[in-house]
Structure 1
Amino acid sequence: MFAVIPVNFIFRKLAIVTVAMVLLLFSGCAGTKRIPKDDALFTGFTVTVKGDKDSSNRQKVIKTELAGTVRPKPNFSILGMRPKLAIHNMFYTEKEKGIKHWIQTKLGEPPVLISTVDTGSVNEVMHSRLHNRGYFNNTVQSKTNIKGKKATIDFTAFISEPYRIRKVTYTLADSLPVHHDIQQAKTESLLIPGDPYDLQTMTAERVRIDANLKNKGYYFFSPDMLIYSVDTTVGNRQADVLMRLKRDVPGESLQPYTLDDVYIFANYTIADSLSVSDTIDYKGYHYIPNENYVRARHLLRGVFLEHDSLYSRQNHLLTINRLAGLPAYKFVNIDYKPDTTQVNKLDSFIYLTPSFKKSLRLEGRYVSKSTNFAGPGITLSFRNRNAFKGSELLTVEVTGNFESQVGGRGSGTLTEGQTTVSKNLSSYELGVQTTLTIPRIVSPFELRNMRTEFVPKTRMALGFNFLDRVQYFQMNSFNASYAYNWRPKAKFTHDITPINIQYVQLANTTDVFKELLAENPFLRRSFQDQFIVGSMYQFTFTNQMETKRTHQFFDNFILDGSGNLINGIQTLTGADDPEDEKPRTLAGKPYSQYVRAENDFRYYFNFGTESQIVTRLLAGIGYAHGNSTVLPYVKQFSIGGPNSIRAFRARSIGPGTFEDTTRTTYFDQTGEIKLEGNIEYRFPLAGFFKGALFVDAGNIWLMNEVRDENGKVDRPGGKFESSQFLNELAIGTGFGLRVDVEFFVLRFDLGIPVRTPQRNALSDFKFGFKGDNSMVLNIAIGYPF
């Protein structure tokens, strides 16, 4: 039995909890409640670098580096307040268990006392850091300022012109091959005469040389086998740098190694005895034990270790990444051992631990959408990670959803000529989707194996979906596709779908829906039975995997087309020209012809501790031509909702300044042009609680006006006008609370409408969640962008 809880009751309770959290976070923010009598709260510090004679222009970088050496750090603060400390004081308890203890220790933070800051030690660390940067003659001073129960510290570093590198010498007169290989890479040295002395750069130079040697066969070499001697007595603040090999380096580290035997344990577990008696020799590889799990010819596409080739760290990492990307395996490890019969030879051992081959997952959910539809859903997923002994991933998903409209989108008032207002709309959806992902490129042409750390994939999909919008229509849709996915580098992803087929069939329409179609020619053409036969290309660029970058970017471009090739062939074969009411057909059914492009660009500016400003610009355009006069309904743009303009419900904006006064359906809130911009400030609150402030703006438009049989303009104001579109943007703002526990993000965004495409929304803003121009609460999983 399920109890039905009124939505307003939930919102009311949520508002009370929110207010309580705010009061909790900002009460007691002074944080001096539990400070000992002869101590003070360490509230902050400053770092000043004084170097008028320093010409290296590194003061900002050095200031940041020195600030990072201060220990301990002051309590977390935001806008001068310390919410974590406030929680600690509010829930302080001597007990070591219970809910108060959990909140105090997990969400709170004890006061950082000035007595715990050893300024002498911090000064020494700063002095050492400056020395490593070439400031051999530097002084660091600190001053503690105590006012009442609060204290701050001012650190001041006095520097002058740093020592600079005069020349770099490599003592490599030995005849060993390693000396020759180091000399060959000297032109790429990070140590450049004239640059300031920098220990960090010198360390990086050793790592660079080691990486270069690792790719030339020096398996046993390591960076600490190289040492420096620095002479700072040459005068004029200059230093001569000498790099050489240690005298006691083992002989095996100074010789390149080649690979001899390569053993592949294709079904390895920790309990294996590693016997090689049951072995298949395939193209020079020893494949153990047999091909009952993954066939050798498929697995070797991810192996870049070859017999008689030089050992290479690059090939080692490439092999690990490619094999780890195969669904059939969960762990990959590669080990090397010197060959017992040959000098300077290594035997390679590749250990592959299989994943669970088959899995069955049942997922239940209750969905509440911004369109006011809510209801339960269920998904049954089957996975086979090695379907045909080639590490192919076969997935079958069966989905069922039931949704019912729990409230109107607007006032629900009757308009002239309208006899009823639809209430309690219900929707049923059943679908099955089968996808086979092959970890290689399957093509009629012979393609060379790509040297990329990411597994190239071929994806085949086949699916069916049935939708029953009870009071309006039923819809059957079929889809089939054949696609390729590959990533030449970590930042770039290409996804091309040369074959993309969909068939949409409208069935069992009600009289109410037929009346809507009769009144709206644009909607009628969007819902007609039709094939979508074409191709799709998607390109993605991102550097978000570089987590330490201040500036991160993401860009996703999609180009989608349908019917162009078929229409061209039919034109060449002399088919009749298409007409609005008599389009060309495929298998007796019309097909869509269009070109559609969409680009999603995002910029992430990271600063402070976990703080971020994120901007997004999303633009799309679709053009129907030839055999079609409008885009298919499933290809049109819509706007609004939890991942779009959050102050407006999904599909409730546009096109243009058009306003749906009936508020009984949302079928025609779509367009052929889309423009959306977002800016969001994200900041930490306490523990895994994050906050956000955002502003969203955007709209959709029609490319051309659509008129009915009587010549009346359908959806007036919906056409895109270059001189007016900025005045037609819907604008919303708001704030959000996110529960971010790393692997899961629960998001609450409260949107407030500022402007609709027609008018200023703040003039008649309604506090609450009912009716137009009111607040919208978006509850979602994951960040919006």
Structure 2
Amino acid sequence: MSFFAFLSLWFSGCATVKTNGEKEYLLGNTVFKGNKVIKNEDMEALIPTKPNRRFLALPFYPYLWLYRVGSSGYNREHYRRRLSDLTLEYQSKSADTSLTVRQQNKLRKKYAKRIEKARLGVEEGNWWMRVPGEPPVYHSKAEAEKNLEKIKGNLFNKGFFDAQVSYKSDTSFQRVKNTYYITEGRPTIIRDVVTLSRNPEIDSLLNQGRGAVSRLRRGDRYDQAVFEEERIRIETLLKNNGFFAFTRQNISFLINDTIRLETDSIRKTIDIRTFVANTPPQGGQKKFRISGMTVEVQPSSGLPAELDVRDTISYNGITYIHSDKKYSPRILNSMIRLRPDSIYSQLDERYTQRQLSLTDQFQFVNLSFDSTATRLAGRINAIPLNKYELATDLGLNVIQSQAPGPFATLSYKIRNVFNGLENFEINLRGGIEAVSGYGGRNLLYRSTELGLNSSLTFPQLLVPIGAIRHRYGYLNPKTQVNVGYNYVDRPEYVRTSIKSAAIYSLQPNNNVFYSLSLIDLSILNTQKINPEFQQLLDSLALQGNNLRNSFLRSFVSAFNFTFVYNTNPIFGAPENAKYLRASLESGGTSLNFFPGQMNFINKVVNPGSERDTLQFFKFIRWNIDFRKYWRINNTSSFVARVNTGGVHSYGGNRKGISSVPPYEKYFFAGGSNSVRAWLPRRLGPGSTRPRYTSNNLSIESPGEFLLEGNLELRGHLADFFGKINYALFLDAGNVWNLSGPDLGSGTFKIDRFYKQFAVGTGFGLRYDFGFVVLRFDFGAKVYDPYLQRFVLDELKLNKLFNNRQANFLNLNIGVGYPF
């Protein structure tokens, strides 16, 4: 007990100081009581001063302690003298007229860093005080009273016109806690809303169709923030219908208090009149058309003036000006929605800018307009990126149950290859990992992987019909052609694969993405298999595990379609959002129409060989992944996920066609993105007995049908050189077989599958550095489908991480969130 008391004093330091003979206490927490409608987090945002940060909600203040460690040896006069001496020294040396411009610049940079460091020392203290430390935050009665007025004002703005607020300060443990007592009272309700404009066109837009859907609604509580939302809505609506010069300042509101009406005995009500452009604005009531568009691509930086020769081309009414780099006017034309003689639309302007930015050709795209009367002359200025780009990436692979291994990636990109905004990229990747062997030995072996991939991306849909090709230019269309080679050398086998694909994609907005691959071909070849590993594959085949089919020489052809809908913000904390990913893949479909291609492909791949023929596959595979995010407050959220899928193989009664799908197309359960209490890909199928080698990790458990769900509560623990977040989760799921040999308890049956769900629970720690999130999830089994019983009580505290126990804490290490 004395040890923790010592730590508390050590971390918190002195909690009070004397100013003018009076004690000043450190600021404690702020508490709100009595509010029923307005959330605490909304009022917390009004309090600018926050107390010193604690560690893991304990009475430890490490940042304050570090500040006081630094301040104990801090001498402000030393930094002031240092700043003065450096300034005089620089002024003396820079006055030397014999210095060249280059020497002057070098001298300025040298002293700028030193002077800035000394200035920070004067204003903010030494390194310990500035960087890891946090200055003490003291309670202020004057600020507490200001915060009270802010809270009252916020309640008024939220419709509680008669709200009452008081506060009380309590001192405990040398800190002051402020408690604000709130009585909201009756809210003010909107009784009627009318929108008016003297401009007939504007009035028609605002009172018909979608334009009449106001943010101010009858029956809603008065909220001043909604008035600004309504201003933005009206401004956006009018700007999208030609009113280029209209601004939200042209909108005013008249609020009539109806509290004295006899019908208003229970609640307060108001009537709102919205007046739009009723004063003569500068062009705010004019409808603008595009008189012309000019697109100018600026020359490369550093291009000599004598080489800056401009080339002007007119295409479909748009003028294109190029310098040293040429870009296809036809391709650019498909991305520009602002057309000559069309009505101006802010939405078209943003679509145009977005599409040009997504081509990965320009580092900056700017749109500007010159207005005359009711006409707009548009101009697009674009600054190109470098044509050639070389990038490298070094890191560590972090894979569960394996030791981290280094990897390196080298990529080379060429932009605007054929002057049609195409991108060519080639990637070379190499990695080494320490992996567990399949041979039953409890040892780690080196695994080497090398990959060479190239891709050519076109900013359009390469289809025979030209009208379709150019119609979707503003939807971020892409056609990507990929060719890749992969080499894997493990103790069990040496394997190579060659893959090629042609992928079409559309992205109408930031929330929706479509992808269609009509050509997806792979040739898989196992060059060497360890004899011990071959024996294991043969024994697994007798048990119904088709792992050995993955190592036969194979040809896989497929087409697939993917749809993604994601409303999560790209940056910042997740809001109330949804994520849906649905995919459908058909393998070997062309064999149904052109069965003779099997002989042709065999002759091409194996010329002159009739013995070493390829194995072909025909299958249908689907997968649906749905997630729902609920925001609880600024630091907490709740996530629910359902992931399901199935694969069905057909045509296996014909020679050369496998009766099972490729091994890579099976589904697996368990691991850091699945049921986290089980090892990766080791759960199931159904309630079958797990297959173990002596190291308990070797044999995977594939299935043809997957159904799993996850619930996760996420919150914030502390800040310590980054954000330390926590998670509490509950996982359930399994895989089953649908065809093949009768595996009994591993086969999906409608009357028993719900009894075969594996259930796991646990907690996680996530260290968020801002640019990367390190994840550590600890999962324990709750219900084991093989044992068919509750097993959480079999978790032994003295053997938490012993994976030979019936239950243990399974550590999942990952980067980023699981879903």
Q: How would you bin the TM-score normalised by the shorter chain?
A: 0.7 to 0.9
Output one character per residue of 1:390-409: Cα deviation in whole Å (capped at 9) or x when no partner: 2222221122233343x679
TM-superposed deviation, 1:90: 6.1
Query: For residues 120-519 of structure 1, what are the structure 2 equivalents within 5 Å?
Result: 120-147=145-172, 149=174, 150-160=176-186, 162=188, 164-166=190-192, 168=194, 170=196, 172=198, 187-192=212-217, 196-232=221-257, 235-236=260-261, 239-244=270-275, 249-267=280-298, 278-289=311-322, 292-339=325-372, 343-372=373-402, 374-405=404-435, 421=441, 423-448=443-468, 449=470, 454-470=475-491, 472-519=492-539
Output one character per residue of 1:173-203: Cα deviation in whole Å (capped at 9) or x when no partner: x78x666766668734444566554433333
CA distance in 2, matches of 1:442, 1:586: 39
The size of the alignment, in residue pairs, is 721
TM-superposed deviation, 1:745: 1.8
Which residue among 658, 669, 676 is the counterpart of 2:708? 676
Matched, 1:537 2:565: no
CA distance in 1, matches of 2:667, 2:643: 11
CA distance in 2, matches of 1:107, 1:724: 57
CA distance in 2, matches of 1:27, 1:735: 27
Which residue among 1, 16, 31 is the counterpart of 1:45? 31
TM-superposed deviation, 1:110: 5.1
TM-superposed deviation, 1:28: 6.0
CA distance in 1, matches of 2:667, 2:345: 50
TM-superposed deviation, 1:298: 0.9
Greater Cα shift, 501-510 or 105-114 = 105-114
Partner secondary structure for residue 643 of structure 1 = coil
CA distance in 2, matches of 1:261, 1:446: 25
Partner secondary structure for residue 210 of structure 1 = helix
Amino acid paired to 1:34: A
The residue number in structure 2 matching 1:559 is 584
Partner secondary structure for residue 146 of structure 2 = helix
Amino acid paired to 2:563: F
Output one character per residue of 1:217-262: Cα deviation in whole Å (capped at 9) or x when no partner: 2222211122333343784255454444678744433322222221
Amino acid paired to 1:199: Q
Amino acid paired to 1:701: W
CA distance in 2, matches of 1:404, 1:725: 37
Partner secondary structure for residue 370 of structure 1 = coil
The residue number in structure 1 matching 2:86 is none
CA distance in 2, matches of 1:63, 1:524: 59
> How does the TM-score come out when normalised to structure 1?
0.80
CA distance in 1, matches of 2:803, 2:43: 55
The residue number in structure 2 matching 1:690 is 724
The residue number in structure 1 matching 2:49 is 72
Closer, same or farther in 2 for the Cα pair 1:458/1:587, shift >3 Å? farther
CA distance in 1, matches of 2:396, 2:44: 48
Query: For residues 681-760 of structure 1, what are the structure 2 equivalents within 5 Å?
Result: 681-684=713-716, 685-687=718-720, 688-693=722-727, 694-704=729-739, 706=741, 717-726=745-754, 728-752=756-780, 756-759=784-787, 760=791
> How does the TM-score come out when normalised to structure 2?
0.77
Amino acid paired to 2:64: H
CA distance in 2, matches of 1:26, 1:497: 61
Partner secondary structure for residue 262 of structure 1 = strand
Output one character per residue of 1:508-541: Cα deviation in whole Å (capped at 9) or x when no partner: 2332233233333333334322221121111212
Output one character per residue of 1:729-784: Cα deviation in whole Å (capped at 9) or x when no partner: 45544443333122222233344555655443763756365652454444332222
Does the CA-based 8 Å contact 1:136-1:163 persist in structure 2? no
Closer, same or farther in 2 for the Cα pair 1:408/1:481, shift >3 Å? closer
CA distance in 2, matches of 1:755, 1:191: 51
Output one character per residue of 1:339-373: Cα deviation in whole Å (capped at 9) or x when no partner: 4xxx3222111011112222222333343532436
CA distance in 1, matches of 2:793, 2:626: 29
Does the CA-based 8 Å contact 2:12-2:64 persist in structure 1? no
CA distance in 2, matches of 1:25, 1:164: 58
TM-superposed deviation, 1:304: 0.9
Partner secondary structure for residue 520 of structure 1 = helix
RMSD, matched Cα: 4.1
- Structure 2 unmatched runs, 5+: 18-22, 75-119, 262-267, 601-609, 653-657
Amino acid paired to 1:691: N
Amino acid paired to 1:92: R
Does the CA-based 8 Å contact 1:265-1:288 persist in structure 2? yes
Output one character per residue of 1:57-88: Cα deviation in whole Å (capped at 9) or x when no partner: xx5247764454344345567986466x3542
Structure showing the higher helix proportion among its residues: 2
Output one character per residue of 1:515-571: Cα deviation in whole Å (capped at 9) or x when no partner: 233333333334322221121111212211286775322121222221234135439
Does the CA-based 8 Å contact 1:371-1:409 persist in structure 2? no
Partner secondary structure for residue 299 of structure 1 = helix
CA distance in 2, matches of 1:80, 1:509: 55
Partner secondary structure for residue 156 of structure 2 = helix
CA distance in 2, matches of 1:388, 1:77: 58
- Structure 1 unmatched runs, 5+: 1-21, 50-58, 413-420, 576-584, 708-712
Closer, same or farther in 2 for the Cα pair 1:258/1:271, shift >3 Å? farther
CA distance in 2, matches of 1:519, 1:158: 73
CA distance in 2, matches of 1:242, 1:661: 74
Amino acid paired to 1:740: D
Which residue among 6, 9, 15 is the counterpart of 1:34? 15
CA distance in 2, matches of 1:30, 1:208: 51
Does the CA-based 8 Å contact 2:192-2:271 persist in structure 1? yes
The residue number in structure 1 matching 2:799 is 767
Partner secondary structure for residue 537 of structure 2 = helix
Amino acid paired to 1:381: S
The residue number in structure 1 matching 2:604 is none
CA distance in 1, matches of 2:683, 2:370: 66
Partner secondary structure for residue 39 of structure 1 = strand
TM-superposed deviation, 1:607: 1.8
